[in-house]
Every structure is written in C-alpha cells, then in structure tokens.
Amino acid sequence: MSSSATPYQRVLPLLEAAETIASGYSGGSSSHFASAEALTKAIHTGLLKLKFRDTSDVPAMKKWFAPEGDWNSLIGPEGTSIGKQLHELLPEITLTHFRDVPLRRRATVGNWLAMLVQAFFEAF
C-alpha cells in the first residue's frame, strides 16, 4: 500500500490478516474474551463494520491490540507485528478517513424501508 494511503486504507488489510491468524487458534482466555474463537468473531464483526463506515468498534479494538491486550494474550508471538501496527493505526481512524471510500449501503431498517417504498412506487 502506498505511503499516501489513509490509516483507514492501511488498517483493513491488517485486520483481515489478524482475522486469518486468529482463526488458526482456539481456546485460551483474556480479559475481554473467553477464547480465541470469540476474539476472531469480534475482529470479523469490527472489520465488517469498518467496511461499512461504522467506527463504533474502534475504541474496543484499540484495547484488543494494545501491547498487553487480548490479542497478545490469545495469539502470542505470531501476531506481535500485526498487533503493534494495528495498535498504532486504530487511534488514527476517524470519519474523515471515509471521504475517499465509496459509499456502501448499510442494511438498516431505514434503508430497507426506503428501498421497499421506492420499489412500490416504481411498480406503479
């Protein structure tokens, strides 16, 4: 990725790699997760939310990838480099990084309702 990439653009592939690494682990426990599987699921959910411009999981993810956080407790040495990079990039994620990201539709009730109404009026 080029040096002009935003933190948002750099963090997505790192989270995908973290999810892949975490999926190879099982068991264990940490302060926020009962197992590595639970951490993997949380990373997956956080990644999906970020792809849809939802930063609500970013504060929690900052804690997961902190040096003494859940990532290092559950994954260990294999994930140290990615964990460190994510810990440095996640605090930089803000909504301003989304200005160059193509809009994607969120699957919210409001969007479904708007699509339904639009389809209804297009039918007549």
pLDDT tens digits, 66-97: 988 899 889 988 888 999 999 999 988 865 55
pTM for the model: 0.73
pLDDT tens digits, 96-112: 555 544 445 445 556 65
pLDDT at position 29 over 80: yes
The helix (run of H) or strand (run of E) holding residue 16 is helix 7-22
By the 8 A CB rule, do 7 and 97 touch? yes
Please, what's the b/e burial string for 73-92 (b: 16 or more CB within 10 A of its CB; e: otherwise)?
Answer: bbbeeebeebbebbbebbee
